[in-house]
Amino acid sequence: MNDKPAQAVLKSIPQLLDAGTMAVLITLLEYQDSVGAKLLVDEQGQSIGTLGGAALDAFAREHASNFLKSRDDIRAVRGEDLAPQTEFDTALFLFERIQAEARLVICGAGHVGAALATFAGISGFRVTLIDDRQEFLQAERFANQAIELMLATDWTEAVKRAIGNGKGVAVAVVTRGHNEDEQCMRAAIKTDPDYLGLIGSKRRTSIVINRLKEAGATEEQVKRIHAPIGLDIGAVTPEEVALAILAEIICVRRGGTGGFMSVTRRR
């Protein structure tokens, strides 16, 4: 088998990750003489490589989007389990999710922000914590955590720099006041992150959101804001609030419902 197409696929993966694009890497594990062939299908349905034939590629592409909609990171599956009674029933495919590591930008390093940074780091997120107070950005507060600490001499510039193109990025705005909230939200909403949440009461968050509208934010942008931030778990302490926020971020990232898992507690 010619392995040049497979090599081309593997070389293209870093470019997709840099662009923040999600994709599926499909490897043929069993089927005739095309074992080891690879096909990379991005979230728009564009593909690179081949599994060995146009019909086989089309069959795999057809099921790539369903895999992306699932919560799986990797899955080995027979063709007959994807669509029975086709010529590819005996083929064994390996589907692998290609996605940049989860990133979380936290605006505000107070009690909630610090707890959120710690919990998110443990959960596998690459965390950037921003504040305009140097004393809140001491590495000693985050023992054994690889958290990027960023001092904001200008909130707008710091937030934009931390978020980048917004792909694969969640943003939690948990600062100490209206003015800081508004500066962070104005900067963040323009980057179109995967998740954007704002802490505070309904009254406080409504004030900020109304100001965003006055500043030109579209209805579509506003609808995507999670405010007040977090799942309703009855949180009281800063640590509980941080858990509620992280739970919502993971829920959005993974396509969860946020409901009870137990049958006896479903509502």
% of the chain with per-residue pLDDT over 90: 71
Q: Decide if pLDDT at 18 tops 80.
A: no
236 part of a folded domain:
yes
Q: How far apart are CA 91 and CA 74, in angstroms?
A: 17
Considering the domain architecture, whether residues 127 and 174 belong to the same structural domain is answered as yes
Check whether residue 146 and residue 85 sit in a common domain: no
Enter the pTM of the model.
Answer: 0.78
CA neighbours within 13 Å on the CB side: how many for 58?
5
Of 77, 98, 119, the domain-final residue: 98
Same domain, 149 and 193: yes
**Of 262 and 107, the one with more pLDDT:** 107
Average pLDDT taken over every residue of the chain: 91
Measured in whole angstroms, how far is the alpha carbon of residue 175 from the centre of its chain?
A: 22
**Same domain, yes or no, for 228 and 118?**
yes
**SS3 label, residue 234:** coil
Is 170 in a helix, a strand, or coil? strand
Burial of 239 (0-12, 13-18, 19+ CB in 10 A): middle
Does 261 fall in a domain? no
Tell me what pLDDT residue 104 has. Answer: 97
Q: What is the DSSP letter of 177?
A: S
Q: What is the pLDDT of residues 172-224, one digit of tens each?
A: 999 998 899 999 999 999 998 999 999 999 999 999 999 999 999 999 999 99
pLDDT digits (tens, 9 = 90+) for 36-66: 999 999 988 899 999 989 999 999 999 998 9
* Tally of domains within the chain: 2
Note the Cα 196 to chain centre separation in Å: 11
Q: Would you give the end-to-end CA distance of the chain in angstroms? A: 54
* Same domain, residue pair 94 and 108: no
Q: 21, 53 in Cβ contact below 8 A?
A: no
159 lies in the same domain as 124? yes
Whole-number Å distance between alpha carbons of 72 and 97: 8
Question: Which residue would you say has higher pLDDT here, 1 or 234?
Answer: 234
pLDDT, residue 1, reads 52
Same domain, yes or no: 239 and 194: yes
263 lies in some domain: no
Per the CB < 8 A criterion, the answer to whether 198 and 133 are in contact is no
Task: Give phi and psi for 193, each to the nearest 5.
Answer: -70, 165
Same domain, 197 and 152: yes
pLDDT mean over 155-176: 93
pLDDT band at 69; cut points 50, 70, 90: confident
Do 115 and 243 lie in one domain? The reply is yes
Of 98, 113, 141, the one marking the end of a domain is 98
Give helix 178-189 / helix 202-214 axis angle, nearest 10°: 50
State the pLDDT confidence band at 262, using cuts at 50, 70 and 90.
confident
Domain extent for 139:
103-254
What pLDDT score does 22 carry? 85
- State the CB neighbour count (10 A cutoff) for residue 145: 15
Final residue of a structural domain among 83, 98, 113: 98
Q: Are residues 243 and 226 in the same domain?
A: yes
Q: Give the count of alpha carbons within 13 A of 86, CB side only.
A: 15
**Residue 31 confidence (pLDDT):** 92
